Amino acid sequence: MITGSLVAIVTPMQPNGQIDWDALERLIEFHIAQGTRGIVAVGTTGESPTVTPEEHIQCIQFVTNKVNGRIPVIAGTGANSTAEAIHLAKGAQAAGCDAHLSVSPYYNKPNQRGLFAHFSAIAAACDLPLILYNVPGRTCSDIAPETVKKLAEIPHIIGIKEASTIERCRELLRICPADFAIYSGDDPINCQIIHEGAAGAISVTANVAPKLMASVCELAKTDFAAAKAIDDCLQPLHKQLFIEPSPAPTKWALAQMGYIKNTLRLPLVPLDEAHYGCVEAALSAAHIALPKTV
């Protein structure tokens, strides 16, 4: 089972919108050096809806090659078309990833029978371990706990990233098999739900505070008071990294830290200047120093 702090890594881009491969390599080395336990490549935080299928698989392959087995790589392979999700899953398997993460279909709003059929078809088409991803606030598609429980019985479906409520995470921990991994997908609850039995977190905050997030996820299992003390410092960051549509605040912060350029693909736009101070204050609360010149 993959455990600990797993970063939902951003996809760096050049001012012309092309993927910035040098910056992506810098981020990979940054995360490995800082103790991140796994990298989720081209998930929704990686702007997966706006990369082409060819870029998507190329990026997964790049991350897998650069990581070179040092930590697990989980490929984002979700789509609102089952055929496209299978295509991406097969690409991730060919790239040598350790697992893949598939978000529930968005916009078309399948019912529970449709969700079960969608994920069952992906699991049947590809041997790569599959982590479900439930984020109803973004997709308007909610994988019900009973549907998750049924999906957990299917070979290759090994876990879920749950990004709704702590109560839902608790219900999944209660009803799903012990070897089915529950990952927090909501940074403010990471510490508490890992303490209660979740395998880890797939984190946006880990993009800018990887060492601290790694410590929270590890200590939450063994020293909750110490983990909570660190997490309390991260709470402003958990909040401010979503002050505008993600990953705009995160990319701005990483640009200030000197790792990437502050570029996104439309329809997302860079963080509004009115929010610079809030994000910078949250970085300061987490004791993340910015270079004097950027």
Catalytic residue ranges: 133, 161
Q: What are phi and psi of 242, to 5 degrees?
A: -125, 20
Buried b (16+ CB within 10 A) or exposed e, 227-243: beebbebbbbbbbbbbb
CA-to-CA separations, 163 to 31, 169, 180, 202, in angstroms, rounded: 22, 8, 16, 9
3-state DSSP assignment of residue 157: strand
Bridge partners of residue 6, in order along the sequence: 38, 202
Q: Which of 87, 80, 95 is nearest to 125 (CA)?
A: 87
Q: Which of 95, 108, 174, 163 is nearest to 131 (CA)?
A: 163
Annotated binding residues for pyruvate, as ranges? 45, 202
99: tokens are 């697992």
CA-to-CA separations, 205 to 93, 95, 169, 242, in angstroms, rounded: 27, 26, 19, 10
CB atoms within 10 A of CB 270: 15
| Total H helices, total E strands in the chain | 12, 8
Distance from first CA to last CA of the chain, Å, rounded? 39
